[in-house]
Amino acid sequence: MSDVGAVLWAIAMAVLSIVTVVGNLAVLLSYYLDKNIRHPSNYFIFSLAVSDLAAVILGDSRRKHECEREIG
């Protein structure tokens, strides 16, 4: 991959990571603050947000190293 492609890929991944973190934090915060949505069916969505947040945080460190290696 060229340097320009690697930089564009890194920017795209950074933007997607930020959007994912903000979206999942919004789900977690709304579940915590609004007691009316605390139903067993919504607990599934809550747990998906937790696991997705963990995947983004843990997975992005690996992707960050791959992008740094590509760029040099």
Q: Where are the domains of the chain?
A: 3-71
Contacts 24+ apart (CB under 8 A), 21-29: 21/53, 21/56, 21/57, 24/49, 24/50, 24/52, 24/53, 24/56, 25/53, 28/53
CA 40, 44, 50, 51 torsion-angle sign: positive
Asked whether the whole model's pTM tops 0.85, one would answer: no
pLDDT tens digits, 22-56: 999 999 999 999 999 999 999 999 999 999 999 88
